[in-house]
Amino acid sequence: MSAESQVDRIVLMVVAQDDADALSNALIHSQFSVTRIGSTGGFLRKGSSTLLSGVNHVDVDRILEIVKFECQEREEMVPLQGLPLAGDAAFSSRIVQITAGGAVVFVLPVERFIKT
């Protein structure tokens, strides 16, 4: 492994379940290895995926470009009763517009990388 290709960063990406397949495929197509972990959270308690990729610092910007392209925010219509609300609003049949998608990305330093 050359000095330039050594893993010195881990890119941790939390994305909507709807975007996870496209992002995983795009990363693999761009020669990045990726590990996918199912997760749940956020305002709507919808499914999400956490993707991990160990890379060299020179590749971080390229990964961020792929994430931006594949995980764009979008407007969705959801029933008000599906939102975590209290009181009478929790039983309303109204439809509201919310922003979904996007990604949360953490770039972390790697102290040691071992592949066996």
- What distances in angstroms separate CA 80 from CA 13, 16, 46, 101, one per listed residue? 28, 20, 15, 18
Could you report the per-residue pLDDT of 45-99, keeping only the tens digit for each? 567 889 999 999 999 999 999 999 999 876 666 666 555 554 555 555 677 665 5
Could you report the per-residue pLDDT of 13-56, keeping only the tens digit for each? 999 888 999 999 999 999 999 999 977 765 555 678 899 999 99
d(CA 53, CA 27): 9
Q: Which pTM value belongs to this model?
A: 0.74
Could you tell me the fold of the domain covering 3-109?
Alpha-Beta Plaits (3.30.70)
Q: 3-class SS at 97?
A: strand
Return the pLDDT at 61: 97
Tokens of 39: 């997760």
Residue 100 has pLDDT above 70, yes or no: no
Domains in the chain: boundaries: 3-109
